[in-house]
Amino acid sequence: MKIAIGNDHAAVELKNIITEHLEGRGCEVVNFGTDTADSFDYPIAGYKVARAVASGECDLGIAICGTGVGISLAANKVDGIRACVCSEPFSAKLSRQHNNTNVLCFGARVVGSELAKMIVDEWLDAEFEGGRHERRVAMLSEIEQTQALSAAE
Ligand code: RB5
């Protein structure tokens, strides 16, 4: 599996830890984040991770900033991206099973490295369940593509 990873200055160390963890799982990791402590605008990394996933260059993405919030907002602006901020493994797992998330975000100032690894593992090990969830995810795409939702009219 090929994973796009991205981060701002707040998350360089955690990005490196998660990269090593992903490689230990046999993943190929493509780095779209910064590698220095110099101030770095999180939308750049969020956008690059999202673009890599939406284009098919990478299978999934992981994006880390201070809280995970800003970088998830950036990623979600790209068509086809379903990014979520998860600070614990349960939501990460369910976000794959029910929402078919394709970018996982968390905050380096929020979660420690061991918790972050658990969040990543639960997310990667889960699979989209389809069924009734397929219809709901399709609604998200409809909103994205048309700025309207027929089921809400
Ligand atoms: C950077 O100071 C911080 O704002 C950023 O890492 C992130 O938390 C934004 O959502």
Predicted confidence at residue 52, as pLDDT, reads 99
Query: In the structure, which protein residues have their CB atom closer than 6 angstroms to any atom of ligand 1?
Result: 8, 10, 42, 65-67, 69-70
What does the DSSP assignment read for 26-85? T-EEEE-S--SSS---HHHHHHHHHHHHHTTSSSEEEEEESSSHHHHHHHHTSTT--EEE
Q: Using CA positions, which residue lies closest to atom 3 of ligand 1?
A: 66
Residue tagged active-site, from 27, 58, 65, 86: 65
CA–CA separation, 117 and 54 (whole Å): 24
CA–CA separation, 27 and 42 (whole Å): 24
The minimum-distance atom of ligand 1 relative to the CA of 67 is 8
Q: Using CA positions, which residue lies closest to atom 7 of ligand 1?
A: 66
The minimum-distance atom of ligand 1 relative to the CA of 109 is 8
Please tell me the pTM assigned to this model: 0.98
Q: What is the pLDDT along the chain (153 residues), one digit of tens a residue?
A: 999 999 999 999 999 999 999 999 999 999 999 999 999 999 999 999 999 999 999 999 999 999 999 999 999 999 999 999 999 999 999 999 999 999 999 999 999 999 999 999 999 999 999 999 999 999 999 999 999 999 999
**Domains of the chain, each with CATH number or no CATH:** 2-152 (3.40.1400.10)
- Catalytic annotation on 65? yes
The minimum-distance atom of ligand 1 relative to the CA of 73 is 10
- Catalytic annotation on 98? yes
